[in-house]
């Protein structure tokens, strides 16, 4: 074993249970909660000295329990432990975009290049390329007085101006004593600042931040940043979401549903087509096949906003079901910290977590091994507060430099058997403000997206009403509620038809049923395989919705049910063809005329 590592060891293993180890301090070095430690297994068969990363969870006296982010095979009582004196942290700086990391921010492509398909344990790779040169352009002068989070300058990262900010852990006002433009790596100095105690600190392009600590809190204490009330919707180009169940830019939402209901497909389309600057996809516990599909597809896809590669504005945090459970629990914190970093630059960030159920299951496993008192369905008693702490890190930030950035978080939940009453779903629903409930029945009927409009809701519909009045129509929200009521009434009539047959309902109710079916078929459903219908700009959504409202308000004079059925069948066919036609094309206008002239 490396003699240098032996001399830095300050603790030893006294017990091992799966991925939980108990350690005992050998010196006066204090143990700190959430501190990162490194275990040196003496019984390992590896050719190199392994350093297994772990995180302290619980302290009692000079002993502590820690969760290990790797397999504990070969770890035994008496093995030495090195303390890092820092929390579980990520590196923040240029070079994050386009990367695929694991839950601990190890670049998976470099690991695969170095070691092949089977990744060894105890290996750390720097998250940011140490050899890449970045052209730093200062935006402040010598003697400038700054606070934590304020910009010193920028480098060009793909299509974004990546701001290099004063480290977020700096206290009080600092003075720039040296700053220089040039091509530098992330480890080279670009500036020096004088701290409040008179000492100088060198600034590089990168900095570190503990993942379990919300980044904006430090900035708020300096009165440089403040949370704003979300006032604009996240435009996803999905009619059902944008019109009926909007998610605010800087807001929170969840997509629960049973297996096979289309969560991953829906989440993928939201990632591709949403009007945001940066997308962070956290695959925490998903099956490896689904993650491989995401990793292989995104670089080949064209970004609809820029025409470049979709990976140019995407970061993927990947911890599949076959990877260590403890690292799965850390992956969401890693993703959301990266999101907060880009938000502080004034960018709009979308974080997609798939799925938070498996993240919660990882917490349940760890809690059980720590012998904590379990809550409902053996989940830890702090499950609710943990979920709230994650989603509450989303939001809109505004600073004194005029930068407005947002972090929107959408998490998928995979309740067993589609049971929305289970603890993870219920805790999530009590936290988020938009709920897109997927239905196995609608998925079986090949409805896409399979979001059940009778189960789903969005509290942003009223909150964003001023924006809708200004950008869409003065009575937009009222019209949306009318259609939702129509869908509920139509479902009631459908249930009556199932019992009494079509002859058992009145003509008026039969018209209501076909109107609701018409809205469902032509507006709620969207063809993910059609190049036109897969993404619908807000302007087209507005025109289509107002046309539907006009048709629904028409006074019909039908003599029998077959006439009603025939009319709405023809109307639905024309409308679907119009959805497939290019916006404002000659084909689109011809179909629009046919709809207007269709006789009841």
Q: Is the same domain home to 290 and 200? A: no
507 Cβ contact list (under 8 Å, min separation 6): 558, 560, 561, 564
Q: Is the same domain home to 197 and 241? A: no
Q: Where are the alpha helices (DSSP H) in 398-537?
A: 423-429, 440-444, 460-463, 465-471, 476-500, 507-519
Q: Is the same domain home to 439 and 295? A: yes
Of the candidates 290, 289, 300, 301, the one whose C-alpha atom is nearest the C-alpha of residue 267 is 290
**Phi-psi category of 39—alpha, beta or left, where left has phi over 0 and alpha has psi -120 to 50?**
beta
CATH number of the domain that 148 lies in? Answer: 2.40.50.100
Q: What percent of the chain has pLDDT over 70?
A: 94
CATH number of the domain that 492 lies in? Answer: 1.10.1140.10
Q: Is the same domain home to 267 and 361? A: yes
Question: What distances in angstroms separate CA 185 from CA 122, 155, 234, 574, one per listed residue?
Answer: 26, 11, 35, 58
DSSP string, 200-243: EEEE-S-EEEETTS-THHHHHHTTSEEEE---SB---S-HIIII
Q: Tell me the binding residues.
A: 257-264
Q: Tell me the binding residues for ATP.
A: 257-264
408 in Cβ contact with 247 (< 8 Å): yes
User: In this predicted structure, what is the pLDDT of residue 218?
Assistant: 45
Of the candidates 63, 7, 68, 57, the one whose C-alpha atom is nearest the C-alpha of residue 35 is 57
For helices 476-500 and 507-519, angle between their N-to-C axes, nearest 10 degrees: 120
- Domain span at residue 192 reads 134-208
Is the Cα torsion angle 559, 560, 563, 568 positive or negative in sign? positive
Question: What distances in angstroms separate CA 489 from CA 498, 501, 512, 575, 582, one per listed residue?
Answer: 14, 17, 7, 22, 33
User: In this predicted structure, what is the pLDDT of residue 289?
Assistant: 62
> Omega into 355 within 30° of 0, i.e. cis?
yes
Q: Is the same domain home to 427 and 317? A: yes
β-strand pairing of 207-210 with 225-228: unpaired
**Angle at Cα 381 formed by Cα 380 and Cα 382, nearest 5°?**
90
The verdict on residue 49 lying in a domain is: yes
User: In this predicted structure, what is the pLDDT of residue 570?
Assistant: 96
Please list, residue by residue across 137-167, b when 16 or more beta carbons sit within 10 angstroms of its beta carbon and e when fewer do.
ebebeeebebbbbbbbbbbebeebebbbbbb
The verdict on residue 99 lying in a domain is: no
Picking from 403, 425, 445, the residue at the C-terminal end of a domain is 445
Place of tokens 């980044």: 215
Q: Residue 499 and residue 449: Cα distance in Å, rounded?
A: 28
Burial class (CB in 10 A: 0-12, 13-18, 19+), 53: buried
225 in Cβ contact with 399 (< 8 Å): yes
600 in Cβ contact with 557 (< 8 Å): yes
CATH number of the domain that 259 lies in? Answer: 3.40.50.300
The verdict on residue 284 lying in a domain is: yes
548 in Cβ contact with 540 (< 8 Å): no
The verdict on residue 273 lying in a domain is: yes
260 in Cβ contact with 432 (< 8 Å): no
Q: Is the same domain home to 262 and 372? A: yes
Q: Residue 276 and residue 274: Cα distance in Å, rounded?
A: 6
The verdict on residue 465 lying in a domain is: no
Picking from 208, 238, 260, the residue at the C-terminal end of a domain is 208
Q: Is the same domain home to 520 and 575? A: yes
User: In this predicted structure, what is the pLDDT of residue 93?
Assistant: 97
Phi first, then psi, for residue 144 (nearest 5°) are: -65, 140
Residues in a beta bridge with 210:
89
Q: Is the same domain home to 249 and 353? A: yes
Radius of gyration for the alpha carbons in the chain, expressed in angstroms and rounded = 27
Of the candidates 41, 17, 11, the one whose C-alpha atom is nearest the C-alpha of residue 366 is 17
The verdict on residue 429 lying in a domain is: yes
The verdict on residue 127 lying in a domain is: no
Q: Is the same domain home to 407 and 496? A: no
User: In this predicted structure, what is the pLDDT of residue 222?
Assistant: 54
DSSP string, 145-181: EE-TT-EEEEEEETTEEEEEE--TT--S-EEEEEE--
Of the candidates 557, 568, 553, 554, the one whose C-alpha atom is nearest the C-alpha of residue 513 is 568
The list of the chain residues with pLDDT below 50 reads 1, 217-218, 220
The verdict on residue 483 lying in a domain is: yes
**How many domains, the chain?**
4
CATH number of the domain that 11 lies in? Answer: 2.40.10.170
Element (H or E) spanning 549, and its range? helix 538-552
User: In this predicted structure, what is the pLDDT of residue 286?
Assistant: 67
Residues in a beta bridge with 209:
90
User: In this predicted structure, what is the pLDDT of residue 140?
Assistant: 94
User: In this predicted structure, what is the pLDDT of residue 382?
Assistant: 93
477 in Cβ contact with 468 (< 8 Å): yes
Q: Is the same domain home to 412 and 276? A: yes
Q: Is the same domain home to 364 and 334? A: yes
Q: Is the same domain home to 169 and 238? A: no
């Amino acid at each position: 074993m490396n003699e240098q590592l032996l001399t830095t060891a300050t603790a030893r293993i006294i017990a091992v249970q799966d991925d939980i180890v108990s350690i005992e301090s050998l010196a006066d070095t204090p143990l700190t909660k959430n501190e990162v430690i490194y275990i040196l297994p003496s019984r390992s068969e590896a050719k190199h000295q392994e350093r297994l990363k772990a995180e302290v969870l619980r302290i009692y006296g000079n002993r502590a329990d820690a969760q290990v982010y790797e397999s504990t095979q070969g770890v035994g009582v008496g093995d030495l432990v090195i303390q890092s004196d820092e929390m579980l942290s990520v590196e923040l700086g240029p070079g994050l975009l386009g990367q695929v990391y694991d839950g601990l921010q190890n670049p998976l492509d470099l690991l695969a290049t170095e070691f092949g398909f089977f990744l060894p344990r105890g290996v750390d790779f720097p998250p940011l390329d140490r050899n890449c040169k970045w052209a730093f352009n200062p935006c402040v002068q010598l003697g400038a007085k700054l606070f934590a989070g304020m910009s010193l300058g920028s480098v060009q990262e793909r299509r974004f101006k990546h701001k290099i900010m004063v480290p977020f852990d700096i206290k009080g006002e600092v003075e720039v004593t040296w700053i220089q433009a040039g091509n530098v790596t992330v480890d080279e100095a670009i500036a020096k600042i004088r701290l409040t105690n008179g000492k100088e600190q060198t600034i590089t392009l990168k900095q570190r931040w503990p993942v379990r600590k919300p980044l904006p809190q430090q900035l708020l204490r300096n009165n440089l940043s403040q949370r704003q009330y979300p006032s604009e919707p996240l435009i996803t180009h999905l009619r059902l979401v944008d019109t009926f169940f909007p998610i605010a830019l800087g807001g929170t939402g969840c997509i629960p549903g049973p297996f096979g209901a289309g969560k991953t497909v829906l989440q993928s389309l939201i990632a591709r087509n949403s009007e945001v600057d940066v997308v962070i996809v956290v695959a925490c516990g998903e099956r490896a096949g689904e993650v491989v599909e995401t990793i292989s597809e995104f670089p080949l896809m064209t970004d609809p906003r820029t025409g470049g590669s979709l990976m140019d504005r995407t970061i993927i945090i990947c911890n599949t079901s076959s990877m260590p459970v403890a690292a799965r629990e850390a992956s969401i914190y890693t993703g959301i910290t990266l999101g907060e970093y880009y938000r502080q630059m004034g960018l709009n960030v979308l974080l997609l977590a798939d799925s938070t159920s498996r993240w919660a299951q990882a917490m349940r496993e760890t809690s059980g091994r720590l012998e904590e008192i379990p809550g409902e369905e053996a989940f830890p008693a702090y499950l609710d507060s943990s979920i709230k702490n994650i989603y509450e890190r989303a939001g809109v930030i505004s600073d004194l430099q005029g930068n407005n950035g947002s972090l929107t978080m959408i998490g998928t939940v995979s309740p067993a058997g589609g049971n929305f009453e289970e603890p993870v779903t219920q805790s999530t629903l009590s936290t988020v403000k938009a709920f897109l409930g997927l239905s196995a029945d609608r998925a079986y009927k090949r409805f896409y997206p399979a979001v059940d409009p009778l189960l789903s809701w969005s509290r942003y519909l009223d909150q964003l009403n001023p924006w809708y009045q200004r950008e869409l129509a003065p009575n937009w929200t009222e019209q949306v509620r009318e259609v939702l009521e129509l869908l509920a009434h139509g479902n009631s009539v459908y249930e009556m038809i199932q019992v009494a047959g079509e002859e058992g309902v009145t003509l008026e109710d039969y018209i209501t049923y076909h109107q609701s079916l018409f809205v469902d078929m032509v507006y709620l459903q969207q063809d993910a395989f059609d190049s036109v219908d897969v993404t619908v700009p807000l302007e087209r959504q507005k025109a289509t919705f107002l046309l539907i409202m006009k048709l629904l308000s028409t006074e019909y004079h039908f003599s029998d049910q077959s006439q009603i059925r025939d009319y709405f069948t023809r109307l639905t066919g024309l409308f679907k063809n119009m959805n497939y036609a290019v916006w404002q094309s000659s084909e689109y206008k011809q179909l629009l005329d046919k709809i207007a002239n269709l006789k009841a």
